[in-house]
Amino acid sequence: MPSTTHTDPPRPRPEITARRPGGPPLLVPAIAFAVLSVEPFALLMAGVAVPALLKSLLPRPLAISGLIIAAIGMLSAATLLTLTLGPTVPVVRFGGLLWLLSVSVLLTRSRPRRVSA
């Protein structure tokens, strides 16, 4: 007659069952906010860069760089599909901010002054 010994069922190990706080469910809204706030900014940049390029209001390399940053900003919408495009968001945010500041300085300096009558 085989001896029956009482064994406890295997207990789950804590490192397997414990979840990290802030996993993918919390990451998706943050990425969506970042991407959806970059898209209108990219459209604003394109809206400034195209007329500046066509009417020669800015130096040509600056206007073209604005269009390139705006195109990268529109591409950043794909970050919602794949995280490999995640670095495009800060490129557009910070590069676009520097571009917009430089454009605002150059456009105000090139504007003709009005003489009050």
pLDDT, tens digit (0-9, with 9 covering 90-100), for 14-67: 555 555 555 556 566 767 777 778 889 999 999 999 999 999 999 999 999 999
- Going from N- to C-terminal start, the domains of the chain cover 25-110
Distance of CA 79 to the CA centre of its chain: 8
pLDDT band at 94 (very low <50, low <70, confident <90, very high): very high
Kindly tell me if the per-residue pLDDT of 95 is higher than 90: yes
- For residue 74, CA distances in Å to 14, 79, 90, 116 come to 43, 10, 13, 43
Kindly tell me if the per-residue pLDDT of 83 is higher than 60: yes
> Following DSSP, what letter does each residue of 15-71 receive, concatenated?
HHH---TT-HHHHHHHHHHHHHHHHHHHHHHHHHHHHHHHTT-S-HHHHHHHHHHHH
Percent of the chain with pLDDT over 90: 38
Q: Identify which has the larger pLDDT, 112 or 2.
A: 112
